Chains A and B, each alone.
Chain A
Amino acid sequence: MKKTWLIIGLVCASGAVAAVLIVMYILPLDVKERSPVQPILFSHKLHAGSNGIPCLYCHRSAPNSRVAGIPAVADCRACHLYISPDSPEIKKLIGYWDRQEPIAWVRVYSLPDHVYFPHMMHIRAKIECSACHGEVAAMERITRTASLKMGWCLGCHRQHKASIDCWTCHI
């Protein structure tokens, strides 16, 4: 009798462990913030949307590097010396320049170290920026729209008949 209870107990316990593991696998466990508050309330809607500035004008290393690049404080300042220099956010920007301090933006899109993602190859393959980054031109504050999970990468790679070999990304 006692033995049966013991077995039932063990089965229950292992079932519970398995259930927890399965739930952990299914759940995104996507704990990083999707739309963090940035040190300056920079509006992509205003720059890319209303003013129609192309993405690559500011993120200029995307066509020839792994990373897209964020404009330097000096680049922002170059325009904003003349464009609405009195708005409070621009004053914040000029404040950074006066203190000679780079702006520590909060990273929204990040991949683990074991993934090699080159921007340049995707730009050369004529993938729209919005395919991964969403309708940035309509966003007041930048918000991550994609899950960045491996299945999501593979879906797009299959659709575009890009390589799905392990070594394509995990080099």
Chain B
Amino acid sequence: MKRRTFLQFSGMTAASALLAGCQSKNEKLIPYLIPPDEGVTPGLATYYASSCTFCPAGCGILVRVSEGRAKKIEGNPDHPVNRGRLCARGQAVLQELYHPDRLQQPLKRTGPRGSGEFQKISWAEGLGLLIDRLKELQREQVTDGLAMLTPQLSGSLETFVSGFMRAFGSPRHLSYELLAPDWLRQAGRESFGQAGLPFYDLAETRYLLSFGADFVESHLSPVQYGNAFGRMRQGRDTVRGHFTYVGGRMSLTAASADRWMPARPGSEGALALGMARLILDEALFDKAALAANGLRPEELLGRLKAYDLPRVAELTGLAKETIAEVAREFAGTRPSLAMAGETVAFQTNGPESVRAVQLLNLLAGNLNRPGGIYPAGAPVGPENSFGELMTLVNSMRAGQIKLALIKGDPWHGIPPATGFQAALDKVPFIVSFSTLLDDTALQADLILPDHAALESWGDVVPLAGSRHTVHGLMQPVVTPLFDTRQFPDVLLAVASELGGEMAAALPHTSYLELIKGTISKRVGGPKKGGEVEAQWVELLRRGGRFDADKGPGKGYRWAAASSLPDPARPRFAGDEKQFPLHLQVYPSTAFHDGRGAPLPWLQQLPDPMTTVVWDSWIEINPTTAAGLGISHGDLVEVASPQGVLRLPAVIYPGIRPDLVAIPLGQGHKGGGRYARERGVNPLVLLALVEESKQQAAWNATRVRVTRISAQGDLVAAGHPQGSYRSDLIGI
């Protein structure tokens, strides 16, 4: 063949290949086999109001459903908590419904625990296995051998589950979550005698001082407070609220502040008291407020003598002038507002530090005032779930627990330093209600898969987003896709099968009926059948009851008997020489405590500060990193007295040189194809530092960081220092 002919031929082949590539096949149009009875018009969407249960904030949602399939979730504009807004996590709940690895029917373990070898069984068989175990416990009269582990529940589910346990005769219902605001409830009880959570009137305040409360991304009710923050900044014609953030790491919230005060970890309480002393000293406090709370300024000043400016400056590592300036601004602007967050609370002196921040609010006269702090409308919740966790771990270790019913994923979410994982392994029979084969379900002997949230009935009392009691409703927006059953319905079926006392205590035929009962009791109104039904339908249509009664009513008043907060010097696990850096673990913007990791939209969501996707990372200050010879994207080893991890480093200027930070949420052993074996779980590093029996200090571990190699395999959507370098686009 001549060279010329060859070239002609190859050119033609290339051209025809190109053309064939352009051609697209006609799509298929697949109609129904049997048309649905009513209510479905092809191409026409229906919107259902429901509630989001991804985090305890309890936002209202509207779900667009087309041809019987849920397509899109948005915020419910009528809901007082989120006012039509919704965070990325709430939007991604859709993927829980369509997750390709969802459990489709009950499973029974066949291999060793953790191996993931399961056998599909029917519901009859699954329920039978569970009921046999429960009957055995009843027969042997050791009903307290049953333990129930759930996240912190709200609304009817909370009453129902505790009712179930009470009827069975076991006091062991643990509702522990790492990020649950038990610490805030405790502080509220000690300072004000009220264990309810506070409602911060952020939108109306003029000076906001946040001590490590990351309300934009995770603290209590992020959509509500993020929105309120916008209104505080831009919602008023004449005022733009000022915002100062105290905390060692620049979070997304800190990045929105006017001033960032990177105080030394554990010194935030001392800083608050230093400011309080200065405010008292210069008589900038609200005299009426102090008098109303029965406190005398001279006496207070005497008690705070130790917190003079030079000492506080030395403790916090901040400049004296800055501290004084912020204290004067805070006291001189009315209304002002101080918040305390997890970063502060998870230190050994956390509870006292949180109370110190509350004292600042009292001094500036921010209690029960517009732009200040009110008791929230939600009822009280658990205050001591950490103590309960440790008790349960001990009884599991002693072999007293014969049967554990687990909703949620505590295997991933509880730090191994508590001994939880090892103790759970001693429980002879574990039942999981997970929708995915998550870390806990992998350990289970029996899995009775729950419905996805969008297939479930329920009611939600938002944690902290409102002054009023809001009662949100959840309704199934699609027909359940698989052979799953809702967790409370399974418990009801079990109770009716067990008979006797159990059946008498829980006589409902379904969880839906139970919720209807609770709601109609709470709302009051009509008693006749037809009207009750009409009222129920109307509440479902709106998404719950919003125009409700004023919360607990009583305002905050400093409990006279309580002593003043006095945060001691923080203690840390690990020797300072051997482990020179403080470790902070913080809730990931995308995954919260890890529950979002199975959802690919959230994995693909770049972290707002570092732009990392699909991975874990450790944030290190450039100065520290230079000293250790670490550059951006290197693989490093992090060692603490408790454990060792390897993960890529992110050189992050927004963090103190003596602090490193790792986000929570990754490092699952299970949880479906998107979460499995991805990133690391920083909880394995945390040592158990207990100041009191009530709370562990999760931010009080010291670590050592060493460089391993340049192969960190870090994938980021942009460069954190804002250059055009990008690992995804490759410019």
State A105–B29 Cα separation when bound (angstroms). 5
The answer to whether residues A65 and B41 also contact, given A31-B24, A33-B26, A36-B26 and a CB cut-off of 8 A, is yes
Q: Which of B25, B30, B33, B34 contacts A105 (CB 8 A)?
A: B30
A5 to chain B, nearest CB (A): 22
Question: With an 8 A cutoff between CB atoms, is B35 at the interface?
Answer: yes
The answer, yes or no, to whether A29 is at the interface (CB within 8 Å) is yes
Instruction: Tell me whether A103 is interfacial, beta carbon within 8 Å.
Output: yes
Residues of A near B24 (CB, < 8 A) are 31-32
Could you say which residues of chain A place their CB within 8 Å of the CB of B44? 61, 64-66
Please state if B41 and A70 are interface contacts (CB–CB under 8 Å). no
A26 within 8 A of B: no
Minimum CB–CB distance from A61 to chain B (whole Å) comes to 5
Q: Give A93-129 as 1s and 0s: 1 = Cβ < 8 Å from B's Cβ atoms.
A: 0000100111111111010000000010000000000
Residue B43 at the chain A interface, CB threshold 8 Å:
yes
CA distance A67 to B27 in the complex (A): 15
List 17 extra interface pairs beyond A74-B33, A74-B34, A119-B43, CB under 8 A: A31-B24, A36-B26, A61-B41, A61-B42, A61-B44, A64-B41, A64-B44, A65-B41, A65-B43, A67-B43, A71-B31, A73-B31, A74-B35, A103-B30, A104-B29, A105-B28, A106-B27
A86 interface residue (CB < 8 Å to B): no
A131 an interface residue at 8 Å Cβ cutoff?
Answer: no
B22 an interface residue at 8 Å Cβ cutoff? yes
Indicate if the CB atoms of B34 and A73 lie closer than 8 Å: yes
Name which residue of chain B comes closest to A69, CB basis. Answer: B42
- The verdict on A107 contacting B42 (CB below 8 Å), with A71-B31, A73-B33 known, is no
The reply to whether A107 and B29 form a contact with Cβ atoms under 8 Å apart is: yes
In the assembled complex, B563 has its CB within 8 A of some CB on chain A: no
Question: Cβ of A72: which chain B residues have Cβ within 8 Å of it?
Answer: 31-35
A66 CA to B66 CA, complexed, in Å: 12
A interface: dominant SS: loop
Chain B residue numbers with a CB within 8 Å of A74 are 32-35
Interface residue ranges of A62-100 to B (CB < 8 Å): 64-67, 69-75, 97, 100
Rank and list the top 7 A-B pairs by shortest CB-CB distance, nearest first.
A67-B43, A66-B43, A65-B43, A70-B31, A72-B32, A31-B23, A72-B35
Please report the C-alpha to C-alpha distance between residue A100 and residue B34 in the assembled complex, in whole angstroms: 9
State the CA gap A73–B35 with chains docked (Å).
Answer: 8
Q: Which residue of chain A has its CB nearest to the CB of B27? A: A107
A110 CA / B343 CA spacing, docked (Å): 54
Cβ contacts A to B, 5 pairs, < 8 Å: A32-B25, A61-B41, A102-B32, A104-B28, A105-B28
| Residues of B in contact with A, size category | 10 to 19
Chain A residue total in the interface (Cβ 8 A): 29
Which residues of B, 1-41, contact A by the 8 Å Cβ criterion? 22-35, 41
Q: Which residues of B contact A65 (CB under 8 A)?
A: 41-44
Would you give the shortest CB distance from B35 to chain A, in whole angstroms? 4
CA distance A103 to B33 in the complex (A): 8
- Neighbouring A residues of B30 by C-beta, 8 Å: 102-105
Q: Which residues of A contact B34 (CB under 8 A)?
A: 72-74
Q: Are B43 and A102 in contact (CB under 8 A)?
A: no
Cβ-defined contact, A101 with B33, below 8 A: yes
A73 surroundings in chain B (CB, below 8 A): 31-34
Nearest neighbor of A119 in chain B, beta-carbon distance = B43
Q: Which residues of chain A are within 8 angstroms of B22 by Cβ–Cβ distance?
A: 29, 31
Q: Say whether, besides A31-B22, A100-B33, A106 and B28 are in contact (CB < 8 Å).
A: yes
B33 touches A70 (CB 8 A): no
CB of B31 within 8 A of CB of A105, answer: yes
Q: Chain B: which residue is nearest A73 at the CB level?
A: B33
Alpha-carbon distance A58/B44, docked complex (angstroms):
17
How far does the alpha carbon of A71 sit from the alpha carbon of B22 in the complex, in Å? 32
Residue numbers in A under 8 Å from B32 (CB-CB): 72-74, 102
List chain B residues, Cβ under 8 A from A69.
Answer: 31, 41-43
In the complex, A101 Cα to B27 Cα: how many Å?
A: 18
CB pair B35 A106 closer than 8 Å: no
Q: What are the interface flags for A29-44 relative to B under an 8 Å C-beta threshold, 1 for contact and 0 otherwise?
A: 1011100100000000
List of A residues within 8 angstroms of B31 by Cβ: 69-73, 102-103, 105
Across-interface contacts of A105 in B (CB, < 8 A): 28-31
Name the residue of chain B whose CB is nearest to the CB of A64. B41
B630 to chain A, nearest CB (A): 45
The chain A residue with its CB closest to the CB of B22 is: A31
A67–B26 CB distance below 8 A: no
**A33 CB contacts on chain B under 8 angstroms:** 26
Please determine whether B35 and A107 come into contact, CB atoms closer than 8 angstroms: no
Complex alpha-carbon distance, A102 and B34, angstroms: 9
Alpha-carbon distance between A74 and B36 when the two chains are bound, in angstroms: 11
**For residue A67, which residues in chain B have a CB less than 8 angstroms away from its CB?**
42-43
User: A60 CB to closest chain B CB, in angstroms?
Assistant: 9
Complex: A102 Cα to B33 Cα, angstroms: 5
Within 8 A of A (CB), among B683-712: none
Interchain CA distance A5-B269 in the complex, whole Å? 79
Bound state CA distance, A65 and B32, in angstroms? Answer: 16
Nearest chain B residue, comparing its CB with the CB of A32: B26
B17 to chain A, nearest CB (A): 14
Instruction: Please give the distance in Å from B74's CB to the nearest CB on chain A.
Output: 16
Which B residues are in CB contact (< 8 Å) with A31? 22-24
Report how far A72 CA is from B32 CA in the complex, Å: 5
Query: Which of A100, A101, A106 is close to B29, meaning CB atoms less than 8 Å apart?
Result: A106
